[in-house]
Amino acid sequence: MLRLIALELRIVLRDRAALSLLAVLVGALALACLSGAALMQTQIEGREEAKTLQSEAVQQWRKRLADAELPPEEAILSPYRLRQVLIAPLPVLADFSAGRAPVDPYTTTVTMRASRNTLFQRSGLDNPELLVRGGIDLGFVVVVLGPLVLIGLLYGLFAADRDSGIAQLISAQAGSPVRLIGARIVPRLALVLLPIAAAVLVLLATGPDIAGRWQAAGIWLLVAALFLLLWAACGAWVNSFAIGAETAAFTLVALWALITLVLPAAFSAIVQAGYPPPSRFEQIAAARATEVASTEAYENDHPEIASGEFEGRLASIRKTWDLAQKVEAATAPIDRRFVDQLAGQQRFAEALSWASPALVAKRALEQAAGTDPTTGHDFRRASEAYLAAFRAYGGGFVERGAIMQPADDGRIPRFSWLPAKSSPWAEIAALIVLAAALMVLAIRRLARPALA
Amino acid sequence: MSITAAIIAKDLRELRRDRRVVVMALLVLALALTALVTAYARISAYEADRAATIVADRVTWEGQGERNPHSAAHFSKWAFKPLTAQAVLDPGITAFAGSAVWMEAHNRNPAVARPIDDQTVILPSGDFSLAWVLQVLMPLLVAVIAASSVARERERGTLRLMLASGARSEALVKAKLASVGVVTLALGGAVSVIGAVAAAGAGPFDPVRLGLWMLAYGGFLSVVAAVAVAVSLRARSSGQALMILAGLWLFAVVLTPRAAASVAEAAAPTPTAERFWADVAAAKAAYPSPFADGMEAFGAKVMAQYGVNRLEDLPVSFGGLQLEEDERLGNLVYDRQFSALFAIYEQQRAALRWANLASPLPALQNISMALSGTDMPHQIAFQQQAERRRRAVVTQLNTDLIRNGAGADFDYLAKPGLWAEVEDFAFEPPSLGETLASLWADALILLAWLAGAMVLALRSARRLNEAG
């Protein structure tokens, strides 16, 4: 068997069309590595910037608290001078599968004036013209490009022998062609999988040192291997029918287009029609109407110029705090309805995606990478929860009319969110079952001598 | 019947009988229809929603009662971006671009409410739309149709027969180009006509823009057809032709635009949001604020201007003047920072154009988005106009405070009639002339590709005599 595999490997490596396909794969992998490394660098730099801003804010804050000469009319405004920069942990494999990393916010600044709706409004300056075209990452190579390269290498697995009349000879001499086809699949699959594994190693060796990265990369590579194995099994299954190489190529390309392009696009349309996203405009208008209705004397945003006296300023920030609470309470049902609608859409989309192995693999890769929609969604919810705790803390001083002291610094709520650790075992199981089923079907069909 | 017409008729008959091609064509048509229906529903709902929001917000705005104009300037108004009827054809950057701007005093806020933030499915290969069907699926279908156009004749031995019976290789290639072209344009044309009907139903649309849009796609699909026929002319078998064309499709349609986006970002990196806003804050903190360290000098200047010796003697609101001066200084910072950001976007677009050496698709995408009113220049125009409106609204409110708030400043309350005088934001999209002026490079690139593809197909004819 090993000699047969070695022979097949030599045959593939002598085929110029196969080498061209592999060259495209290697080129795409090189681009994916560069692009992934650049994205990871941007994510690291963004977080470093945020950390710098946070440490500057902490320094200024401590200096302010330690300033014994700060007049009371200024010191009473301290809760409104406090800011906390929240930073989501770096996704372990953002350089492997970008997922939602380029579009989801990963930092935000919390102040007493921030609200749920404005918390993330200043994130994301990336050029939409580039975002709409997407990027190349290893996940894209595995889900979109890899299967097509594999199809190019194995569309004529046995069908080409039928075209040339050798298939009957093989059946007559060796009986079942299963071993031969197995020996043909192994080097072809390896030629696609090994460069991907090499790219994984390159990114691991050059990327940041994050706890759990190697383990996540192992799971990521397992998903990639299973998905490509599924396509190899698909190739064997299509070749088990009594068809020529051209029809096999056509069928496989059509299957690829169906699974990778058509079904996801159709699902997207179904999700849009079935669960249209709630209206952001309506949310904005409702929040504004509530804001105006919540107070008859809308407070301006400058307590420092509203009054120069301690009592006047305290009254001013008390009105501001009272207004903020009223607006928050009044808009909470609108926001909750909005979040519920989005959650329903998410569940529906996830349920539909099980029908496309490409979407299953994509989701599993992103889950392993920590760039899936759930992680981004959880960071937003955690930030909102922190905002509530932060405002309650600062609001307490406003309500009591108390001036913050240096000792209060240690009591400021801390943001310590970590993404939930979940591995895509259900997706992995689905890929295993599908690949095994197709392989068994292919073997059973190929074992019939009449198919030659 | 000439031999060219006979070949075309035979090819069309064969394609009609090929169930695989018919199924694929029907699938593409069905997807195009689905894309149109969903886009139509989305845009209609969006526009209805936008109109309702503007009306509701107008009621809120006018019903805020007596209030200090600066309080109202903080509450301010929102600018909502309209979607044109042509967005049914190509949503362009819509999913990734903010559609609402809060026109608040002191702050130039970014456009928010990006659909992508609420979108749970990010497709592995681009957003689903009619443009996506024409840019991604149609070339694949054309590749499948064209792959066997000459290669199969060679496999069957009918190619030798045709050449032996007096058919010139050039005529044969022209016939093959014509038969693939007829099917391509019939399918693309059908999809585009349905798109035009949908666009007409979605609202007022510009027929010139639509005509140019269809012309651009016609050019692009002609490039694809010509290259596909050339590959079929050179391939050993139809299977090999199909694989080569699938590889080319993958390279030109799927890989190149993505690789170009990565390269453009590397060539002109966008600053992180954290850095950008920190720079804005630092620049704003650096100027002498008329409320803090610049107050004395500003007060002196104002007193000199009005010929008084004390601020209390001013016939206008000093607070209002401070606010307006603060806006003026802040606007200088925003102009500088946003100009730099938009210049980076422009550099990225220039870098993207280099990708046209490898594929005509980026040029087509630019043309398609621009003519649909969904490209970056349209988005920047929206953001710039919203910013101009913000400044106008804030100045209008500050002016009322300046004129009527003397002595009272922030305790002054404007009458509700003032709110009715503040106009809503109305977006003026760039004119067709302005749009076309930004597209000439892309149009030239597409034309160059078309010429190159035709030359390639016709030159491949020379090989027929040798390989036939």
Residues B109-160 have pLDDT tens digits of: 999 888 888 876 666 666 788 898 899 988 988 888 888 888 877 877 887 7
Least CB–CB distance from A288: residue in B60, B92, B379 = B60
Does A68 score more than 90 pLDDT?
no
Does B47 score more than 70 pLDDT?
yes
**B20 at A interface, C-beta within 8 A:** yes
Please report the pLDDT score of residue B120 as a whole number.
67
* Chain centroid to CA A267: 18
DSSP reduced 3-state for A101: coil
ipTM of predicted complex: 0.89
**Rounded to an integer, what distance in angstroms lies between the CA atom of residue B238 and that of residue B244?**
10
Is residue A148 within 8 A of residue A256, CB to CB? The reply is yes
DSSP reduced 3-state for A103: coil
How near does any CA of chain B get to the CA of A86, in Å? 12
Q: Helix axis angle, B361-372 relative to B376-404, nearest 10°?
A: 40
DSSP B403-448: HH-TTTGGG--B-THHHHHSPPP---PPPHHHHHHTTHHHHHHHHH
Q: Kindly indicate the confidence band of residue A310, based on its pLDDT and cuts at 50, 70 and 90.
A: confident
Residue A414 DSSP code: P
**B45 at A interface, C-beta within 8 A:** yes
Q: Mean pLDDT check: name the lowest of A80-84, A290-294, A380-384, B149-153.
A: A290-294
**Structural domain spans, chain A:** 2-271+358-451
**Rounded to an integer, what distance in angstroms lies between the CA atom of residue B112 and that of residue B123?**
22
Count of helix runs (H) and strand runs (E) in chain A: 18, 2
Q: Kindly indicate the confidence band of residue A413, based on its pLDDT and cuts at 50, 70 and 90.
A: very high
**B235 at A interface, C-beta within 8 A:** no
Of A316, A168, A348, A136, nearest in space to A242 by CA: A168
Residue of B nearest to A100 (CA): B122
Element (H, E) at A86: strand A83-87
Is residue B162 within 8 A of residue B156, CB to CB? The reply is no
Please report the pLDDT score of residue B124 as a whole number.
61
Please report the pLDDT score of residue A433 as a whole number.
97
* pLDDT tens digits, B331-356: 999 999 999 999 999 999 999 988 98
How near does any CA of chain B get to the CA of A125, in Å? 6
Does A431 score more than 70 pLDDT?
yes
Is residue A24 within 8 A of residue A149, CB to CB? The reply is yes
Collect all residues with Cβ–Cβ distance below 8 Å to A257 and sequence separation of at least 6. B137, B140
How near does any CA of chain A get to the CA of B1, in Å? 32
Q: Rounded to the nearest 5 degrees, what angle is found at the Cα of B261, between the Cα atoms of B259 and B265?
A: 120
Is residue A331 within 8 A of residue A108, CB to CB? The reply is no
- Asked if B64 lies within 8 A of A152 by C-beta distance, the reply is no
Q: Kindly indicate the confidence band of residue A277, based on its pLDDT and cuts at 50, 70 and 90.
A: confident
**Rounded to an integer, what distance in angstroms lies between the CA atom of residue A3 and that of residue A23?**
25
Please report the pLDDT score of residue B236 as a whole number.
81
Please report the pLDDT score of residue B126 as a whole number.
63
How near does any CA of chain B get to the CA of A146, in Å? 11
Residue A195 in tokens: 């460069």
Q: Can you list the pairs that B309-313 forms with residues at least 24 positions away whose Cβ atoms lie under 8 Å? A: B312/B407
Q: Which of residues 24-63 of A touch B (CB under 8 A)?
A: 24, 28, 31, 34-35, 38, 42, 45-46, 49-50, 53
Residue B464 in tokens: 């027929």
Q: Helix axis angle, A310-353 relative to A357-369, nearest 10°?
A: 140
pTM: 0.88
User: What distance, in Å, lies between the first and last C-alpha atoms of chain B?
Assistant: 24
The share of chain B scoring above pLDDT 70, in percent, equals 97
Does B433 score more than 70 pLDDT?
yes
Q: Which of residues 80-139 of B touch A (CB under 8 A)?
A: 80, 92-93, 95-97, 99-100, 102, 109-110, 112-128, 132, 136-137
DSSP B72-111: HHHH-EEEE----GGGGT--TTGGGS--EEEE-SS--PPP
**Rounded to an integer, what distance in angstroms lies between the CA atom of residue A363 and that of residue A373?**
9
Average pLDDT estimate for A256-263: 87
HSE (side-chain half, CA atoms, 13 Å) at A382? 22
Q: Which residue has the tokens 């990521």?
A: A220
**Rounded to an integer, what distance in angstroms lies between the CA atom of residue B463 and that of residue B458?**
10
Residue B390 in tokens: 């913000």
